[in-house]
Chains A and B, each alone.
Chain A
Amino acid sequence: MARSLAAAMAVIIVAVAAFWSATEGFRVFTTEGARRLDVARSPRPLPAVVLEDQDGRRVGPEWLRGRVVLVEFVYTRCPTLCSTLGEVFGRLSQALPGVALLSISFDMEHDGRAELKDYALRHGADGDRWRVVRPTSGGDLRELLDTAGVVVIPDSWGGYQHNAAVHLVDDRGRLVRVLDFEPLSALIDEVTPWLAS
């Protein structure tokens, strides 16, 4: 009896340890939750890659310095989530005049300058405070997605699904938060303190 009890306790202890580690102390149950926790705990610089915007101008790492930038990953053909993200960015640009916005397309094959321009016009990106960009090489794209922890998988209609979120990059060019884009008021509350500093 005592030995069975000891064996059961041992199993439970090992299991609690395994679940604790898999859920970061019972705080997250999904990879997305773990990514957000990880970014908040240890901010990381975005890779120093050069991007190209809707007008063909280059957007280098220096553009990220000295200002708070909100980054979204999209593909311009996206009928659902990215359109919502686009709308959210449109409303954010009005609600938070001090913030810069960057929409990065991960669909390098399809999204050329014309597609980026179209996306920008549709959602009101001015090309100055809000720029719609594409990476210039597959390696750069890979590096950006890996750093941010974004996973893009093809869906059955020729499009993609991806963990959609708003990425907060501080004035030193570090990714410091990954935030939900809904509800908008909560997002604004999260971003505002970063603008003051």
Chain B
Amino acid sequence: MAGLLTPSTRRSRIVLGAGLLGLLALPPLREAMESDMARHMLVQIPLLALCGWLCAPSPATGRNLAGAWDRHGIVGILTANLVAAYWMLPRTLDNTIASAAFEAAKFISLPLLVGVPLRRCWSRLPMLGQGFVVANAVSMLGIVGWLYLAAPVRVCVYYLVDQQEVVGRALLYLAGAITLAVLVRAFVGTAQSSVPFHHMASPQRHPHFDHQGRGSRQ
């Protein structure tokens, strides 16, 4: 699939990813995204990760090195998870608005340490690992969403309390949507298009592991 992309599609992915990153970095767009908590957390941050995902080389390239240092893609996915979680802390969200250094760190780390590892490592992650990551994401989104709705105080000094409620509700919806997608996928085998990770996970539908435990795609 992705590994078989022709060079021109690969180039267009990079152009798209880099273009999106440049667009998101434009001061007016940054201001528009970050003036609202929901746009900041639910649009800008995922889009920054998407930039890296688009620009990343296909998982098929550099396999030996990746296999040696990150056997099942666990290190990459762990990195992506931790970096994403870091930028979800209310204090770091505030810091990106108050400090240019934090803002730059966000713009660099989300594409490089979330988007790139997601594309490089997701398909190498064993099915069990993928399931764990998705289940973990659902519970984290649910807990954070509920906390934001139930918090008696504003968690971010730069955001209004009503925006916090919008984010809380949106995170709960997102958790619900992912759960639903997983259920649909579990019970309706052919309904691939309704699964959010199908584009990344589909190569794993028939994984083949050799006797040394190294996975390869068929």
Contacts and interface: CB of A to CB of B under 8 A. Distances in A.
Count class of interface residues, chain B: 20 to 34
Residue among B68, B98, B156, B157 having the largest count of chain A Cβ atoms under 10 Å = B157
A63 interface: no
Contact of B74 (A4, A23, A33, A161): A4
A30 B160 contact: no
B145 to A, nearest CB: 16
A3 B71 CA distance: 9
B69 A161 contact: no
A22 B83 CA distance: 12
A34 B99 CA distance: 15
Interface of A: 1, 3-4, 7-8, 11-12, 15, 18-19, 22-23, 28-34, 151, 153, 155-156, 161, 163
Interface of B: 68-72, 74-75, 78-79, 82-83, 86, 89-92, 94-95, 98, 153-162
Contacts of A1: 71
A163 B86 contact: no
Nearest to A35: B157
A29 B90 contact: yes
Contacts of B74: 4, 8
B98 to A, nearest CB: 8
B157 A11 contact: no
Shortest Cβ-Cβ A-B pairs, 8 listed: A151-B157, A15-B82, A31-B94, A4-B71, A7-B75, A30-B90, A31-B157, A8-B75
Contacts of B95: 22, 31
Contacts of B72: 4
A80 to B, nearest CB: 10
Given A30-B156, A161-B160, A23 B75 contact: no
9 contacts: A7-B70, A7-B75, A8-B75, A22-B86, A30-B155, A32-B153, A153-B157, A161-B161, A163-B154
Nearest to B155: A30
A13 B98 CA distance: 27
Given A19-B89, A31-B91, 7 more contacts: A11-B79, A15-B82, A22-B95, A30-B157, A31-B95, A33-B91, A153-B160
A11 B153 contact: no
Nearest to B74: A8
Contacts of A12: 78, 82
Residue among B68, B75, B159, B161 having the largest count of chain A Cβ atoms under 10 Å = B75
Contacts of A19: 86, 89
B158 A153 contact: yes
A114 B90 CA distance: 38
Nearest to A9: B75
Nearest to A161: B160
Contacts of B75: 4, 7-8, 11
A29 B91 CA distance: 6
A68 B22 CA distance: 52
A75 to B, nearest CB: 15
A33 B94 CA distance: 12
Contacts of A156: 160, 162
B175 to A, nearest CB: 20
Given A18-B86, A161-B154, A161-B161, A28 B70 contact: no
A88 B66 CA distance: 61
A28 B91 contact: yes
